[in-house]
Amino acid sequence: PHRRPMVSKQRFAADLSRCLYDFVVQLLPTPEELAIKEDVRKLLERLIRTIEPESRLLSFGSTANGFSLRNSDMDLCCLIDSEDRLSATALVNMLGDLFARETKFHIKPLPHARIPIVKLSLDPKPGLPFGIACDIGFENRLALENTRLLMCYAMIDPARVRTMVLFLKVWCKRRKINSPYKGTLSSYGYVLLVIYFLVHVKNPPVLPNLQQMPPLRPISPEETNLNGHNVWFFDDINLLRERWQSSNIESVAELLMDFFRFYAREFLYNVSVVSIRAGLLTKESKGWDNDPDRGTARERNRLCIEDPFETDFNVSRCVTRDGLFTIRGEFMRASKILSTRPERAIVALAQLCE
Ligand code: CTP
Ligand code: MG
């Protein structure tokens, strides 16, 4: 019996790219879902303003950065522009009572969490088959900025960047490696891995480094300082679209194959730090390799992903030894499936997300 000849790499990549686009499009939130979520945001903002008239309720996370899938949760951040505002703990308690009185949401105030939040949820019903899950936090201005940064990256090359990121988000959920509470990586962490790969690993790069581009006018450090962090990045998207033309013409499937190969085999997890701000860094240079209090620092830094603005914060500090082992195993599995190039790309896709 003779083996079937392998599909050519070009044909497989072309098929897979088309499958990836089709797959991801089906998973985008519907306009109705987006409208319902915006109504919820407005309703909650109105209620909060009965307590804090100077407040605004803003979306961040996937609902605001262009990487949202159908039924993803809502991340909301409450900003209060007055001097003598209540503490987050007091606000969480008061808003918990207010929402319980005035809305149909299930309410869970967490006033004593490390970051105090109010959790709200709505049961599924016709027209809203998965209900709504929403967290409201306070004054998390850095999260609003990193959301804007990711949104800008998404907008530079939406066809490739959004498709890759959205696919990866589905993939890591289906493969059950997307739970910081269980020792694996947050969605935010996976998005940073993709952006890093497109800015710093691909040559020629698919994306520019928005944090290192020269500003259009001189900017003073005070202007860009937020809680001691430099949050400047080149955010003039219209100008960027005019000026930035990547000479990388790889298809989304080729990029995805290379992404899996890179994180399966090339990236040096023991010594390296992923930084979209500065490129490849070492754990040593950041002091993330030492072992001061009996192993905890090293335990926290198995996988190192530097936050783009809060640069002393390792986004993947929740990833445990076992978690990293599992994640790497999944990168290897994915890489292997794609390198066998099944006759039909759709089969590879189904297998990837099994
Ligand atoms: N965030 C952060 N630091 C982290 C984790 C999250 O600042 N360590 C902020 C980021 O602004 C991120 C947002 O919280 O965009 C939401 O994070 P996450 O839920 O992981 O990402 P989503 O894109 O919202 O993914 P999902 O659709 O799975 O909810
Ligand atoms: Mg989210």
Complex confidence, ipTM: 0.98
Across the chain, mean pLDDT equals: 93
Residue listed under structure tokens 């066998």: 340
Amino acid symbol at 92: V
Rounded Cα distance between 83 and 86, Å, is 9
Rounded Cα distance between 307 and 189, Å, is 9
**Which of the four pLDDT bands, split at 50, 70 and 90, describes residue 113?**
confident
In the chain, which segments carry CATH 1.10.1410.10? 157-207+246-352
Distance 285 CA to ligand 2 centre (A): 31
Rounded Cα distance between 294 and 135, Å, is 35
Rounded Cα distance between 166 and 125, Å, is 26
From the number of C-beta atoms within 10 Å of its C-beta (0-12, 13-18, 19+), residue 250 rates as middle
- Any atom of ligand 1 within 6 Å of the Cβ of 304: no
| Spatial contact of 327 and 183, defined as CB atoms under 8 Å apart | no
| Spatial contact of 16 and 349, defined as CB atoms under 8 Å apart | yes
Distance 150 CA to ligand 2 centre (A): 13
Give the number of whichever ligand sits closest to the CA of residue 135.
2
- Any atom of ligand 1 within 6 Å of the Cβ of 187: yes
Nearest CA to ligand 1 atom 12: 61
Q: Which helix (H) or strand (E) holds 226?
A: strand 225-226
In the chain, which segments carry CATH 3.30.460.10? 31-140
| Spatial contact of 122 and 128, defined as CB atoms under 8 Å apart | yes
pLDDT at 141 (0 to 100): 94
Backbone dihedral angles phi then psi of residue 281, each to the nearest 5 degrees: -120, 165
Instruction: For residue range 149-196, list pLDDT tens digits in order.
Output: 999 999 999 999 999 999 999 999 999 999 999 999 999 999 999 999
Fold annotation for 157-207+246-352: Poly(a)-polymerase, middle domain (1.10.1410)
Average pLDDT over residues 112-127: 89
Nearest CA to ligand 1 atom 6: 188
Ligand 2 is an ion; residues with CB less than 5 A from it: 61-62, 73, 75
Report the nearest atom of ligand 1 relative to the CA of 187.
Answer: 20
| pLDDT of 59 strictly over 90 | yes
Give Rg (Cα) of the chain: 22
Average pLDDT over residues 42-50: 96
Report the nearest atom of ligand 1 relative to the CA of 313.
Answer: 8
pLDDT at 128 (0 to 100): 78
Rounded Cα distance between 126 and 130, Å, is 9
Taking CA atoms, 223 is separated from 220, 232, 233, in Å, by 6, 9, 12
Distance 15 CA to ligand 1 centre (A): 31
Distance 248 CA to ligand 2 centre (A): 30
**Which of the four pLDDT bands, split at 50, 70 and 90, describes residue 295?**
low
Rounded Cα distance between 70 and 130, Å, is 9
pLDDT at 81 (0 to 100): 85
> Pairing relation of β-strands 132-138 and 74-80?
parallel
Average pLDDT over residues 51-57: 93
Nearest CA to ligand 1 atom 5: 188
Question: Percent of the chain, pLDDT > 70?
Answer: 96
Span 31-140 CATH architecture: 2-Layer Sandwich (3.30)
Instruction: For residue range 246-270, list pLDDT tens digits in order.
Output: 999 999 999 999 999 999 999 999 9
- Any atom of ligand 1 within 6 Å of the Cβ of 61: yes
Rounded Cα distance between 294 and 189, Å, is 26
Q: Which helix (H) or strand (E) holds 56?
A: strand 55-60
Average pLDDT over residues 218-235: 94
| pLDDT of 14 strictly over 70 | yes
Please list, in sequence order, all residues whose beta carbon lies within 8 angstroms of the beta carbon of residue 246, skipping any fewer than 6 positions away.
Answer: 157, 204, 205, 206, 207
Weakest mean pLDDT among 126-130, 136-140, 224-228, 233-237 = 126-130
pLDDT at 85 (0 to 100): 81
**146 vs 297 pLDDT, higher one:** 146
